Amino acid sequence: MINLLDKLLETDRSFLKSAILKMQVPPFQRVYVLINPKAEEKKKEIKSLFSSISVETVFVQEETWEQASEDEEPVFLDALFTTGYEDNGAELHLSRLKKRKVYSLLCPGQLNPLNGLSDGKYIVSDVTFASHNPYMGLFMNDGLDACHEVDVIGKEDKSPVRLSEEKDFLGLLGPRKRNLNKGSFGRAGIIGGSDKYFGAPYLSYLASSILCLGGGYAFLGIPEKNMPIYALKDSQLIIKPFPTLGGTMAFSEAYLDQFKDFSSLSFGMGLDVSKGVYDSLCYLIRTFKGTLIIDADGLNSLAAFGSDVLDERVGETILTPHIGEFSRLIKKPAAEVEGNSFSLGKEFVLAHHVCLVLKSASSLLTDGAETYISAFGNSGLAKAGSGDMLSGLLTGTSLYKDLPLLKRAGLACFLLGRAAEKAAQKTGVLSITYEDVLSGLKEACLSISGDISNKSL
């Protein structure tokens, strides 16, 4: 566990004062403070600041938990800075107290501030006060459960990693001119499916998301054998069946050349891993000049047969692995990827000159020059088909060629997360299905539409 005791000692008085005032503890109430015993001078400073607003300070020890349990609404200030202290069961004590309010300074106790990982035991904070740029671990992995709210004090834009915010995307889906036709918006397609993973409803609705984002055409490449399954799923889809060999995609230059003039193309969902899939992907990497999104079995085929072909790309390329897929792609253990996603992701991107969307409970987006964390959404997305929907959204947002590639990727992640949040308002998080998310997608698009500018395709 990383030790932030030095950060605790470095926090200036103005930050502590701002945090304490934001807690809005009424005069003459008691505050219980969890703090590392080595921070004696900081204890005096915290006590002095609380005393200035007539609040009593109790530094928690084993015998004070009983005192805290007698308070009707105990208030805690967690100043552990991930270091812990003599009572290692603090998180258990806190969970047993009714109506308790917990505030944390910089980072909840026992949580790694850099990647949000823990040993499963950490302080759950109602509000975490962050100084300047918050640690990205607050928005990743266990940090998403440890931090219910993050309040940044004295925010400055100096961090190499930024948190995506809704304001980053306002107006990007603004109104268009009236004098347009379906050919004005470019063509976007999705190639996926196999005898083993036909995923009919997922891929069908996945392609429909292109139309939700304003695309004029939505093309779907599927196995010839699956034509009867897809034929009447969506009357707006244009289906392009591909030849198969052994139940998976067979390589065909003639087939793939049908997509050569498309603006964007997603490849990989449900294709299975085979030499035919790999050869098809290699051909697209070397010839497709639009934006190519590689997902699922496209990534798994690269991992199985070789990823150096990425260096031969001729168009923009976005890779969308989850932790397991990226682990296979770079030949490193998943635990190492999870703990070092920033450095490993950036290293891969700089080596191959691609854009990476590393999917998890919150996603890492980087093009090597800029890096973002997208923490929109909820656990309702932790179900089969969510990654497929993201690929569909990326295919749609990639039509907006006047936006930087990383911005288009961030927009897709935002829309999927916001759609899940909209869905949860109607069904609750537990019951969310892909249909609920796609229903929320239109609301998500509307939430950032405006008259700020006209971003035509």
- 456 confidence band (pLDDT: 50, 70, 90): very low
What token pair was written down for 114? 């850099």
Q: Is the dihedral of CA 282, 286, 288, 290 positive or negative?
A: positive
User: Are both 334 and 414 inside the same structural domain?
Assistant: yes
DSSP state of 171: T
**Residue 184 pLDDT > 80, yes or no?**
no
Which span out of 93-97, 230-234, 351-355, 453-457 was modeled with the highest average pLDDT? 351-355
User: Are both 80 and 46 inside the same structural domain?
Assistant: yes
**Residue 205 pLDDT > 80, yes or no?**
no
The predicted structure's pLDDT at residue 140: 95
173 within 8 A of 449, measured Cβ to Cβ: yes
- 370 confidence band (pLDDT: 50, 70, 90): very high
Provide the β-strand partners of residue 131. Answer: 153
User: Are both 126 and 203 inside the same structural domain?
Assistant: no
End residue of a domain, out of 159, 186, 215: 159
Instruction: Name the residue with tokens 């069904």.
Output: 427
The predicted structure's pLDDT at residue 455: 44
Taking only the tens place, the pLDDT of each residue in 146-165 is 999 999 998 666 678 899 99
**Residue 54 pLDDT > 70, yes or no?**
yes
Confirm whether 122 is domain-assigned. Answer: yes
User: Are both 118 and 226 inside the same structural domain?
Assistant: no
User: Are both 155 and 172 inside the same structural domain?
Assistant: no
Q: Are strands 56-59 and 75-79 parallel, antiparallel or unpaired?
A: unpaired
Confirm whether 150 is domain-assigned. Answer: yes
User: Are both 289 and 369 inside the same structural domain?
Assistant: yes
User: Are both 288 and 256 inside the same structural domain?
Assistant: yes
Taking only the tens place, the pLDDT of each residue in 225-235 is 888 877 777 77
What is the C-alpha separation between 314 and 289, in angstroms, rounded?
6
**Residue 202 pLDDT > 80, yes or no?**
no
What is the C-alpha separation between 83 and 88, in angstroms, rounded?
10
What is the chain's alpha carbon radius of gyration, rounded to the nearest angstrom?
Answer: 25
User: Are both 126 and 173 inside the same structural domain?
Assistant: no
pTM over 0.95: no
Q: Are strands 316-319 and 355-358 parallel, antiparallel or unpaired?
A: parallel
User: Are both 423 and 388 inside the same structural domain?
Assistant: yes
Domains held by the chain: number = 2
User: Are both 134 and 19 inside the same structural domain?
Assistant: yes
Q: Three-state DSSP class for 417?
A: helix
Confirm whether 457 is domain-assigned. Answer: no
Of 306, 319, 252, 312, the closest CA to residue 287 belongs to 312
Confirm whether 455 is domain-assigned. Answer: no
What token pair was written down for 450? 């405006």
How many residues can be counted in the chain?
Answer: 457
End residue of a domain, out of 95, 128, 159: 159
**Residue 198 pLDDT > 50, yes or no?**
yes
End residue of a domain, out of 159, 191, 223: 159
Of 443, 391, 410, the closest CA to residue 191 belongs to 391
Query: Which residue segment(s) compose the domain that 201 sits in?
Result: 167-448
User: Are both 180 and 96 inside the same structural domain?
Assistant: no
The predicted structure's pLDDT at residue 48: 95
